[in-house]
Copies of this chain bind each other. A is one copy, B any other.
Amino acid sequence: MNLIPVILAGGSGTRLWPLSREGYPKQLLNLQGSNTLLQDTLSRLDGFRYESKTESATFAAPIVACQEDMRFLVLEQLSALGGQQQRLILEPEAKNTAPALTCVAIDCHERHSDPIMLVMPADHAISDSAAFQSALHDAIDAAAQGSVVTFGIPPQGPETGYGYIRRGTPATDIGKSAFNVAGFYEKPDAASAQEYLDSGEYYWNAGIFMLRASAWLQALERFKPEILSNCQNAVANGKLDGAFFRLNAADFAESPADSIDYAVMEHLADNSKALVVIPVEMGWSDVGSWPALMKLGNEDADGNVIQGDVLAEDTRNSLLISPDRLLATLGIEDLIVVSTPDALLIAHKDASQDVRKIVDRL
C-alpha cells in the first residue's frame, strides 16, 4: 500500500493582507509558531502508521503542487523539515484545484502502483493532529476500497463562509466512522447555515480528501474528460528539473479551470459508497480572516493575542502583530493591527473581512 501526501499549495489569497501578498500567500507564512502553514500541513502526519490485519504503511514523501514563482520558497520550507526527497509539480498558471490534483494523480499513478493520496490544502490549521491521524485510519480503509473520502468538520456555529457536506446513511462497511454523502452545499445564507447547524447532519467541508489516484482519474473521465486529457498531455510533455516537475504550459492552458468540489465531488454525492464523509473534530480552521487567525492564538488576560514587540496599555480583545518595530497601544479594543515593513493595517474586528476592499484599491 502506497500512501502519498498531496499538498495543494497553489493559492494566492490576500485575505490576510498585509502579511499575505500575491507573491507571498498565506501558506508560506509563519502565523503562529516556528512553522509555516505549509510546513504544519506536512508535519501533522509525523509518526503516523497505518496498521490492518494484512498490511502496515507510513506516508511516503509528499508531492506538492504550487505556482512556478513560489517554487524556491516552497522547496526551502519543505527542505527545512528534513525528510525525504521533495517533488514539486509546478502549475504554469492558476487553474483552481481540479487540474492541479489531476496532474498530481497522473504523476503518482505513473510512479507508484495506484497509490492512496491524502489531498490537503496547504493553508489550513489543525490544532489536534492526533484526532486527524486517528481519522486517517478509517479513511484509508475506505479509500483502499475505491471510495473517495472527505473529512467533515462538525460546525462550531452558523458560518456562512464555508461549504457544507450533508451526511447520508452510515457506511460502516466502508469505514467504521464513515457516512455516505447526501449532498454538497456551497456557502449558504445565514438562515440556511442556522438550519444546517441545528439539524446536526451537516459538516464543514475542509477540502481534505483521501482517495486512490485511479478513483480520481476515473471520476474525472466521467465528469470532466477535458480536464483529464489536457492534464495527461501536460504531464506527458512536462520536464523534470531536480525537485521540480514543470507541466507543459501550452497543454495545461487548454484545461478548463475548476475546483475539486465542482468538477467531481458534487457529482459523486449520491448517497453511495462512491463518496463518503468521515466526521472529525480536530480544531480545524481555514485561517481565512484575521479574526480566524486570532482564534488560533493564545489570548492574554485582557483577551489580546500579541506577536512581536508590543506595549499594550488598557487594550482589550485585539490582535496585535508587529514583528518589526515597537507597537504601543492605549485605550483600544476589538482591533486588528498588523504591521509589516511596507504596510500597516488597522481594522475593527467586525470590518476585517473588508480587507479585500483595501487590496482591490491598491
Contact = CB atoms under 8 A, between A and B. Distances in A.
Interface of A: 18, 311, 313-314, 322, 325-332, 335, 337, 339, 341-348, 350-352, 354-355, 357-358, 361-362
Given A311-B358, A358-B311, A358-B330, A322 B348 contact: no
Contacts of A351: 313-314, 330-332
A344 B350 contact: no
Contact of A354 (B313, B339, B348, B357): B313
Given A351-B314, A354-B313, A329 B342 contact: no
B325 A354 contact: no
Contacts of A352: 330-331
- Chain B CB count within 10 A is highest, among A346, A348, A358, for A346
Given A330-B346, A332-B348, A347-B332, A358 B325 contact: no
A291 B314 CA distance: 18
Nearest to A352: B330
A348 B347 CA distance: 14
A326 B347 CA distance: 14
A313 B359 CA distance: 12
A348 B362 CA distance: 27
Contact of A330 (B327, B330, B342, B348): B348
- Chain B CB count within 10 A is highest, among A327, A335, A344, A348, for A344
- Chain B CB count within 10 A is highest, among A313, A328, A329, A355, for A328
A348 B331 contact: yes
A337 B343 CA distance: 13
A332 B331 CA distance: 13
B339 A344 contact: yes
B331 A347 contact: yes
7 contacts: A311-B361, A313-B354, A326-B342, A326-B343, A328-B346, A330-B346, A331-B354
A313 B357 contact: yes
Contacts of A342: 325-326
